[in-house]
Amino acid sequence: MAALEQEIAAILKSMEHQVTIRTVADRRYHLAERNGQQYVIVLSRIGKVAAAATVTTLINVFGVQSVLFTGLAGGIHADVKVGDIVIARSVYQYDLDASPLFPKYSVPLLNKTFFDTDEALNDKIAKACNDYLAQDFATAFEGNKRPRFFQRDIPKVHQGLIGSGDVFVNALEKQNQIAEQMPSTLCVEMEGAAVAQVCYEYAIPFAIFRIISDRADSKAELDFNEFLNEISPHYGSAILTRLLDQLASS
Ligand code: ADE
């Protein structure tokens, strides 16, 4: 799963001749086979409701046995720089607050704030990311794209907490507020914790990895759009391709 086309365009393109498309509730589900494994690839569009509706269909209609969500995110923690990769160990909804009825951030009646991702999948994602960075990154982004879009010579792979909310965070004030209230938050995005909650309720293993497109500050909109169009199509999909090949061989 991803929210937007640019985030997984190359994967879709590499499979375009072998896919069957089924449309359910205005989403196009691409059914594909790669190395003998069956995959369903879908764009959820942006936000928690869109993501929850889409993953529910993946589970109920297509019977998926695990879920991977990828896409861009805004950096919150000071060490999370543009171009870095964040693999979620757990996720929470930073905009969920039913207090004083329920503790802030806790999903009412489920009594759960943090949803853990699948460790075995995380290890495979980490390997795909590290292999990509060691072997392909330098040639994929040569010339002036490197300093323009990457804050480090070689991006860092982080693992930890991701916050989700129905907000595009584009102000230092909001970024600081999230960091102060939940200091371990590495980055923010708009779908992960919704997918996590649904997967948890269906007992389906899930994983999320995100590429940092912006620092969730006043430049976020510009940085996000440029990264989405110029970098994303060549970056996330290349890691995904490695991951799918690795999943097939394990
Ligand atoms: N995805 C990428 N950048 C983001 C931001 N700043 N806020 C929310 N979601 C994002």
- Separation of CA 44 and ligand 1 centre (Å): 15
**What pTM value is reported for the model?**
0.96
Ligand 1-lining residues (CB < 6 angstroms)? 72-74, 168-170, 188-190, 213-214, 216, 220, 224
248 pLDDT band, cuts 50/70/90, is confident
pLDDT score recorded for residue 11: 84
Report the pLDDT value the prediction gives residue 155, as an integer from 0 to 100: 97
Using the mean position of ligand 1's atoms as its centre, give its distance from the Cα of residue 8 in Å: 17
Atom of ligand 1 at shortest distance to CA of 215?
6
- Tens digits of residue pLDDT in 213-232: 999 999 999 999 999 999 99
At 61-100, the pLDDT tens digits run 999 999 999 999 999 999 999 999 999 999 999 999 999 9
**pLDDT bracket for residue 180 (50, 70, 90):** very high
Q: pLDDT tens, 97-117?
A: 999 999 999 999 999 999 999
- Among 149, 175, 224, say which to mutate for ligand 1: greatest number of ligand atoms within 8 Å of CB: 224
Q: What is the mean pLDDT of residues 17-27?
A: 92
Spatial neighbors of 13 by CB under 8 A, at least 6 apart, are none
The question of whether 214 is a catalytic residue gets the answer yes
- Mean pLDDT to the nearest integer, 190-210: 98
Whether residue 7 lies in the annotated active site: yes
Name the average pLDDT for the chain: 94
pLDDT-derived band at 44 (thresholds 50, 70, 90) equals: very high
Output the six-digit token pair for 245: 């090949």
- Report, as an integer, the average pLDDT of 40-48: 97
- CA 78 to ligand 1 centroid distance, Å: 15
d(CA 19, CA 28): 11
In the chain the domains, ranked by start, together with CATH numbers, are: 68-248 (3.40.50.1580)
Selected residue with higher pLDDT from 180 and 18: 180
